[in-house]
A and B are shown apart, each in its own frame.
Chain A
Amino acid sequence: MKTILKAQGLNKTYHLGSFPRTIKVRALNDINLTIESDEPVIISLVGESGSGKTTLAKVILRLVQPSSGAVTVAGHTVAGKGTRPSRTEFLRTVQPIFQNPFEAFSQYRTVDAYLLETATRVARLHKDEAVRAVEEALAAVGMQYKDVRGKYPNQFSGGELQRASVARALIPRPQLIVADEPVSMIDASRRMIIINLFLALKQEFQTSFLYITHDLATAYYISDYIAVMNKGRIVEFGDAKQVLSRPQHEYTQLLLDSIPRLDYRWVDRRNASPGKY
């Protein structure tokens, strides 16, 4: 069994405010998580805002130094003590996709410049190979290089640009792609294109995904494993379908009860008003 993602005793404390009155916020509180599998997997990380899920993503992406503990992705220590690989080697292992593609790409640069730069600098490809790698990655997300070339981010729709950022993340063939709320900025009717894309890429590129979201329905749809976070702790972890159909922790239960579902109502609306209903 390969270790896909392993977090050991991970802590992160933020100090807010200035000297005499600093407040300590424990964004990550002793996170231990081990995911082993021979096949690539999609792991969902769900929780409310302030639960620490984005901090965990940032630690895995090396954007935040943990206060203590370590994270290993596919045998590489990517965060904490003994972080070994160089930055480029790290970026070949873990790649990010962010929430808002219009913020992720500068509006003053063409999108293909980002893709080519990832291919030459991170994947260390020569120019011809780089173009081929970009073409291949774009084809995998249903786009064509000729349609992307020379275009600036504002010439794309949100969904297209997010697909381009998925293509960018694919170029170095990473072991793990960390996607932080990748569909929340996309129109509800078109979210499934990105969600189904993750499923297809898992199969074809053998890439694992860490899908961070507050949307439990899409998490149920694509993930193999799910981790529920609350107040800096992982309160429940396990097989996604099992956790969401038979939640053990009361917080998971609370989250599930709060989803506006289409099969039962929180309150009976039929006698709700004196109107003509």
Chain B
Amino acid sequence: MIRLDNIVATYTTQRGHVNAVDGVTLEIPDSIVMGIAGESGCGKSTLMKVIYGDIGFPLSLSSGMVDYGFVNERGEPVTTENIRREWFRHISYIPQSSMSSLNPVVRIRDQFVDFPATAGRKKEVLAQVRAFVPKLGLPPEAIDAYPHQLSGGMRQRIMVAMATFFQPEVILADEPTTALDVVVQKSILLLLLDLQKEMGNTIMLVSHDMGVHYQITQKMLIMYAAKVVEYADTDDLFQRPLHPYTLMLINSLPTIGDDRARHGLPGSPPSLWEMPQGCRFAPRCPLATALCRKEEPPLLEHERGRFSACHYAASVPELKQTLQAGPRLSEIAHDTAQLTADVERDV
């Protein structure tokens, strides 16, 4: 089990310090696929960086620690202090753009063995790599190529291969498929699932696509303005969200076969420098009251295994029904006045 204890991650900028992750406390069970979702700037990628232990200027950890729940070679528990030594062997990271993550002037096989863990036995490791890559739907010769000779999907598979080769306990994937077409995306996601099933490791996946989360995650973390707003099993979270933000995130985009008019999420997230008092989602929330604007709701366990940071978590299912009874696309007038109204809420 990975334990995050009151993580506060701070960026140092010209304007001063800003908390991109602000007090996240979590327990992540082993051997699951966990999804992290939220809008740009909500802190999901920063949280990934913290979990990966990639902390360095301008990012710093102001408070808290990650306990990874396993011990290193010397028998010491692995925490944020010493996680860097476990990179690749026990924790690995699949970055967003495989295009810019591979060195363009070095053959892929040389990049594969280019870290201290393989010192002195590169030939042996390379033979293992050659045996391993066909599992990912790649020809063994692919590792002899330079990155530009491969397609985007193949390069992403190479990144997945690098991240899974040592069968690490934890794999972090930051938007692993955003640059890819849907057909390739599906194959990469199913590949990740197969590998996870085989190795039994924990995968943490950041994506802005709620469909991707529904397809492959078992638990989900929803972040908003540097805070966790909901944390629950994926099935429960999609069926009956307990935070209005989660509900609106699921409902913001159209789906095929559903003719309801959609307006996205009104407004935009608050600036990290000017956080509103009380609940950070209140300015955009249809359920917000004076209480929300005054008092920040803590992340509470409303039902077994279901965490939500909302004063009115119990009213969210009702809101869902109201939204689902909304007008169809053909029933509303399409005029720019309506749009202006949408935009004006967009402070």
Binds A, one of B10-18, B101-109, B193-201: B193-201
Contact indicator B264/A221 (Cβ below 8 Å): no
Number of interface residues of B (CB under 8 A): 59
Contact indicator B252/A259 (Cβ below 8 Å): no
B residues 175-190 touching A (CB-CB < 8 Å): 181-186, 189-190
B residues 194-215 touching A (CB-CB < 8 Å): 196-197, 200, 208-212, 214-215
Which of chain B's residues have a CB closer than 8 A to the CB of A260?
A: 182, 185-186, 189, 209, 211-212, 214-215
Contact indicator B218/A191 (Cβ below 8 Å): no
Which of chain B's residues have a CB closer than 8 A to the CB of A82?
A: none
Cβ of B145 under 8 Å from chain A: no
A155 to chain B, nearest CB (A): 15
Contact indicator A157/B183 (Cβ below 8 Å): no
A residues 249-277 touching B (CB-CB < 8 Å): 254-263, 265-267, 269-270, 272-277
Cβ of A203 under 8 Å from chain B: yes
Cβ of A33 under 8 Å from chain B: no
Contact indicator B346/A193 (Cβ below 8 Å): yes
A226 to chain B, nearest CB (A): 11
Contact indicator A259/B256 (Cβ below 8 Å): yes
Contact indicator B209/A190 (Cβ below 8 Å): no
Cβ of B31 under 8 Å from chain A: yes
Cβ of A128 under 8 Å from chain B: no
A265 to chain B, nearest CB (A): 6
Query: For chain A, which range describes its interface: under 10, 10 to 19, 20 to 34, or 35 or more residues?
Result: 35 or more
B81 to chain A, nearest CB (A): 27
Which of chain B's residues have a CB closer than 8 A to the CB of A140?
A: 336
Given A142-B340, A189-B252, A200-B335, verify A275-B31 contact (CB < 8 Å).
Answer: yes
Q: Which residues of A contact B (CB under 8 A)?
A: 48-49, 139-143, 157, 163, 187-193, 195-197, 199-204, 214, 216-218, 220-221, 244-245, 254-263, 265-267, 269-270, 272-277
Enumerate the 6 nearest inter-chain pairs by beta-carbon distance, A residue then B residue, closest first. Answer: A260-B211, A192-B264, A142-B343, A221-B254, A48-B181, A189-B265
